[in-house]
Structure 1
Amino acid sequence: MLITKELENENNITIGEKTHFSKTINESDINLFSGLVADFHPMHINAIIADESNSGKRLAQSALIVGLVNGVLRNHLPGIKFNILRQQLEFLKPVLLGDTVTVKVEVLNWSPEKRLVTMKMDCYNQFGNDILTGETVLIHEPS
């Protein structure tokens, strides 16, 4: 469970600050996300087809993993007073049903005059295999 980080002001941002969050992807996660975004690709929802594929298991949607990343960014670091402006992501490996995904984020740059923070994101599975990498730029929205 993430603890929300409420920044009283932007001076609480430290370059190099890091946090992480882990979640095991279960059948309910994949099914609920499929229904939410109307992504009914057989590799997500059909166990028989997925079992016969190269992966041998159902795949989590890429957007589900992005949602985990964005949850860390918005709810923990840098926090709820920041909005995402742009994101550049590279998907390196699929996430399978039952995988434990760890999201790690780090503050790369903070520009107080522009109110912009650049974050590095990396995700890996329970075997330490990289599954996603990227950067996000967020803007501080003062109260």
Structure 2
Amino acid sequence: MNTVSRFYQDYEIGAERATLGRTITETDIVIHAGQTGDFFPHHMDAEWSATQEFGERIAHGTLVLSVAVGMTASEINTEAFSYGYDRIRFIRAVRIGDTLTVTASITGLRDHPRRQEHGIVEETVTATNQHGEAVLSLVHLYMVNKRDHQ
């Protein structure tokens, strides 16, 4: 993991980065269920799930979100921190054995409404499966220090 100092003024709309793949496993689903207490049959009961719309167990939406965001965290920016997430959409079910890749694109820059020394960077994150189908979309917001306020 790299450490960088990237200020608000260093971000450009349209800048994009992409990850390598990560396969979702049954272990991922079981661990996530244990961490969250979400043992709903859609995730845990293979027999019941076989009778439902997806025909098999599917990953928790919050698992997919966590994995996708984690996949984009290849560097620590000492001038920024996560401010939240907007417009989270679980577009398609993720099954055991699906391999996700993630792209993250800078899609917005704005001043912080109350803190002159910070700006807000909007990064649209899209996770796709091995078939190139989008499974998750969200906007990750970062609060970033402005260079001229150091």
TM-score (ref. length: structure 1): 0.82
Secondary structure (helix, strand or coil) at the match of 1:136 reads: strand
What is the alpha-carbon distance in structure 2 between the residues aligned to residue 26 and residue 141 of structure 1?
38
**Partner residue in 1 for 2:81:** 82
Indicate if the aligned counterparts of 1:123 and 1:130 stay in contact, CA closer than 8 A.
yes
Indicate if the aligned counterparts of 1:88 and 1:136 stay in contact, CA closer than 8 A.
no
What is the alpha-carbon distance in structure 2 between the residues aligned to residue 119 and residue 104 of structure 1?
10
2:6 corresponds to 1:9: yes
**Partner residue in 2 for 1:19:** 17
Q: Residue 141 and residue 59 in structure 1: after superposition, are their counterparts in 2 closer, same or farther (change >3 A)? A: farther
User: What is the identity percentage for the equivalent residue pairs of Structure 1 and Structure 2?
Assistant: 22
Unaligned 5+ runs, structure 2: none
**Partner residue in 2 for 1:32:** 31
Shift of 1:17: 2.0
Q: Residue 85 and residue 43 in structure 1: after superposition, are their counterparts in 2 closer, same or farther (change >3 A)? A: closer
Indicate if the aligned counterparts of 2:82 and 2:140 stay in contact, CA closer than 8 A.
no
Q: CA RMSD in A?
A: 2.5
Q: Residue 13 and residue 6 in structure 1: after superposition, are their counterparts in 2 closer, same or farther (change >3 A)? A: farther
Alignment partner for residue 133 of structure 2, among 111, 118, 129? 129
CA deviation string 1:16-38 (max 9, x = no partner): 22222321101100000000000
What is the alpha-carbon distance in structure 2 between the residues aligned to residue 16 and residue 105 of structure 1?
10
The alignment of Structure 1 onto Structure 2 pairs a total of residues equal to 139
Residue identity opposite 1:115 in structure 2 = G
CA deviation string 1:44-92 (max 9, x = no partner): 011111223232221000001110232245x237846322333221221
What is the alpha-carbon distance in structure 2 between the residues aligned to residue 141 and residue 28 of structure 1?
38
Indicate if the aligned counterparts of 1:25 and 1:100 stay in contact, CA closer than 8 A.
yes
What is the alpha-carbon distance in structure 2 between the residues aligned to residue 58 and residue 66 of structure 1?
17
CA deviation string 1:2-24 (max 9, x = no partner): xx342223154333222223211
What is the alpha-carbon distance in structure 2 between the residues aligned to residue 17 and residue 5 of structure 1?
18
